[in-house]
Each structure stands twice: as C-alpha cells, then as structure tokens.
Amino acid sequence: MMFGYGDEWWMPLFYPVLLWVPFGPFLMAATGAWCARRPGPWPWLWTVLLPLVPVGVSATAMLLPRGQSPRTDDLVGYLLVYVLGITVLPWVLGYGITRLVRAVRARRGGAHG
C-alpha cells in the first residue's frame, strides 16, 4: 500500500495549501502591486515562487491516481477556483489597480503642474 499507516510524511506539505486559501489572495495582490510599482526581475520571480508550493501540491493531489481518474468538472472547478480565483485574479487586480492609480496620478500631476 503506497499511503498506508506510517506514510504521513507528505501531510506537512498540505499546510501551505490550507493557508493559501485565506492568505493567498492578499499575497498575490501585493505581489501584483509590487510588479506594477517596481519593474525588474525580483517581483516577477516572487510572483512565480510564492504560489509554487501551495498550488503545486494541491495540483499534484488533484491529479494523483486515487483509484479513479479525476472527473473533468472537478479539474475545471479546481482551475477556476483555486488557480484562477485565488491566485491569478488577485494578482491581476493588484497589478491593474496599481497601474491605473499611477496613470491617473500622473495625468493629474501633468495637467495641473
């Protein structure tokens, strides 16, 4: 048996997965704003590295064979909620809102200055 009694070494890998649900959107929005404010490789690198463990572990658990293959609607739901809704959408909102605010401030400053 592959995951029998005593094979719980993999359980600590799920702690970041559980913490990603409440805190991940805020972290991704912050990295999106960071990427918009400071161009360079470090913000973009952290944008990829930050969700790597929680999203990678949960995707692996979703795709591992557990006696039956995952259903298509389960995979689509996982991608929509966990990957797009919790990880990508907050980053896009943080990036977009920061760029929009900076553009509006630059426009006002240029017109009145």
Residue 60 has a pLDDT of: 84
Nearest-angstrom CA–CA distance, 47 and 53: 12
H or E element at residue 66: none
Residue 64 has a pLDDT of: 78
Nearest-angstrom CA–CA distance, 29 and 65: 33
The residue ranking higher by pLDDT, 2 or 61, is: 61
Predicted confidence band of residue 113 (pLDDT cuts 50, 70, 90):
very low
DSSP symbol at 79:
I
The gap between the terminal CA atoms of the chain, to the nearest Å, is 72
Range 38-76 burial, b when 16+ CB lie within 10 A, else e: eeeeebeeebeebbeebbebbbeeeeeeeeeeeeeeeee
Q: Are 90 and 25 in contact (CB under 8 A)?
A: yes
Per-residue pLDDT of 6-15, as tens digits, reads 667 777 878 8
DSSP symbol at 69:
P
**pTM of the shown model:** 0.81
Per-residue pLDDT of 33-92, as tens digits, reads 999 999 899 999 999 999 999 998 888 888 876 777 778 888 888 889 889 999 999 999
